[in-house]
Amino acid sequence: MSEPRSLQQAILYFSNPDNCTQYIAVRRWPDGVTCPGCGSDHVSYNATRRTWKCSTHHPKREFSVKVGTIFEDSPIPLDKWLAATWMVTNCKNGISSYEVGRGLKVTQRTAWFMLHRIRLALQGNPMMKLGGPGSEVEVDETFIGGKARNMHASSARRRRLDATGVKGKTPVVGILERDGEVRAGVIPTRRRGVL
């Protein structure tokens, strides 16, 4: 089984610790496992401990797939981490820590901790420029939010919007790199200088 397609498949697939280790290792080191300490690719795998050992002599020669990731220094097993990651990335409306806690049989505090680390890992690097030689980038803006005239007359938000003269919509810009990533964000105005 290459990729779980449902939550049930994800839980069954990640219930095997060897599957978890292999799943992360293939994505983390697509060209082969390398030591996070020295970068050497001369490593040996210990199947009973699910760790690798670097052949060069330096501190912390033995390492696992958790080292240098959001899973490091966490007593939570990988099967719960990967199932939670699957839940976060496949729920289009978002997911709460209570729902993750119920689904994975962990406390709400543990689920909250996991969600914060997963969301941090899912954040992109905003400092990287999009585009480059021969690539196409598309930019568009839109307005999100309700109009003040559609809100109830006693609504505090409507009174604020009427008082400030704002139409009630928030301008948002989206940038798409073809066959790449998408970035979106709120902008103060849609003037040329801002865009």
Give 28-63 as a 3 state SS string: HCCCCCCCCCCCCCCEEEECCCCEEEECCCCCCCEE
Measured in whole angstroms, the distance separating CA 52 from the mean position of its chain's CA atoms is 26
Amino acid identity of residue 151, one-letter, is M
**pLDDT given at position 190:** 73
Average pLDDT over every residue of 32-48: 88
**pLDDT given at position 138:** 85
Alpha-carbon distances of 12 from 15, 19, 33, 48, rounded to whole Å = 5, 10, 26, 21
**pLDDT given at position 40:** 86
Average pLDDT over every residue of 135-151: 75
Q: Does residue 88 contact residue 123 with C-beta atoms inside 8 Å?
A: no
CB burial of 15-47 (b: ≥16 within 10 Å; e: otherwise) equals: eeeebbbebbbeeeeeeebbbbbeeeeebeeee
Query: pLDDT by residue (tens digit) across 166-186?
Result: 566 777 888 888 777 788 888
**pLDDT given at position 178:** 79
Q: How far apart are alpha carbons 42 and 20 in whole angstroms?
A: 22
Collapsing DSSP to helix, strand or coil, 188 comes out as coil
